[in-house]
Amino acid sequence: MNNIVAVLSQKTQGLEYQNRLEKAVKVFFKNNLDYIVLLSESAIQKNIHFLENLGISSEKILSESSPKDTIGEAFFLKKNILLPYNVNKVYVVSSDYHLEYRAKIIFDFILQNDFIVKYCYSETGKMCNRSVIIDQLKSLEYFNNLIKQCENDNLIVNHPLYKE
């Protein structure tokens, strides 16, 4: 059984995302994990080099570029990494507000009881930012409406971002 840390993506690849990567590296070494996974638009060479410069060997870095949002990150992480790599435990790393107000709920729903999931966050100072909270809750509302329309197995098929 493998244990991994997955870093949720961020469209803007600035300091906040860099803090997520640094947090993931700390979790990786502290827990002696097998792999670190980059997701979505963050699965790029620049971030792979950043991880290598922090001591992660290239064979320990996995990329999953299929996701286009947090829902896809949970879905494709499970389908293309967790199941094929026989993962027992996954550490999910994101920003504090993203985990608290949205991502944790999505990952709990999609991963259900199939894996041990631990959540680790990087602090941002945005936990009490009203506009950030509202934005996260609107996205969570979208997820809630989506899951009412479909079963977990066809969640991505019914998601507008993944329709061809």
* pLDDT tens digits along 6-48: 999 988 778 999 999 999 999 999 999 999 999 998 888 999 9
pLDDT at 121 over 70: yes
Q: Where do the H-state alpha helices sit in 31-68?
A: 45-53
* Residues 17/51, Cβ–Cβ less than 8 Å: no
Tell me the average pLDDT of the chain. 93
pLDDT tens digits, one per residue of 57-87? 999 999 999 999 999 999 999 999 999 999 9
Domain locations in the chain as residue ranges: 2-162
- Indicate the class that CATH gives domain 2-162: alpha beta
* Residues 89/115, Cβ–Cβ less than 8 Å: yes
The least confident of 11-15, 106-110, 122-126, 138-142 is 11-15
Residue 118's contacts (CB-CB under 8 Å, 6 or more residues apart) are 89, 90, 91, 92
pLDDT at res. 152 = 58
Tokens of 127: 């936990």
pLDDT at 164 over 70: no
* Residues 139/70, Cβ–Cβ less than 8 Å: yes
0.75 exceeded by the pTM? yes
pLDDT at res. 153 = 61
Nearest to 4 by CA among 16, 19, 14, 25: 25
pLDDT at 162 over 90: no
Q: What are the Cα distances from residue 44, in Å, to 40, 48, 134, 162?
A: 9, 6, 29, 20
5 membership: H or E segment, kind and range: strand 2-7
Tokens of 114: 């199939």
What is the pLDDT averaged over residues 125-154?
Answer: 89
Spatial separation of the C-alpha atoms in residues 73 and 119, rounded to whole Å: 14
